[in-house]
Amino acid sequence: MTVIELPDEQAAALKAKAATEGLSLEAWLKKLAAEQEHPPSRPPRHIADVIVEIMRDVPVEVMATMPADGASQHDHYIYGWPKREV
């Protein structure tokens, strides 16, 4: 068994957090450790879905200013390089 020494204030704060869940400090710490070993998993999302979700918040007037060739000419828009021949 590993013993961890804490200042009285920290130990009291941790015991209070455990008590809010109706657990002893030891049981609460075991629960936290188990959650770290097996974090709740989310179903994987396709990157396109994430991008669409983020872009929903971009105003229409801002989207209208986006270049139509932004993907194929990204080096030009990001780094200022000459546009590539398409």
Tokens of 33: 């450790």
CB 67, CB 73: distance < 8 Å: yes
Q: Where are the alpha helices (DSSP H) in the chain?
A: 8-20, 25-37, 47-55, 60-63, 74-79
SS3 40: coil
pLDDT digits (tens, 9 = 90+) for 27-71: 999 998 888 877 667 888 999 999 999 999 999 999 999 999 989
Give the count of beta carbons closer than 10 Å to the beta carbon of residue 46: 8
pLDDT digits (tens, 9 = 90+) for 14-30: 999 999 999 999 999 99
Ramachandran angles phi, psi of 55, nearest 5°: -70, -15
CB 77, CB 66: distance < 8 Å: no
pTM of the model: 0.42
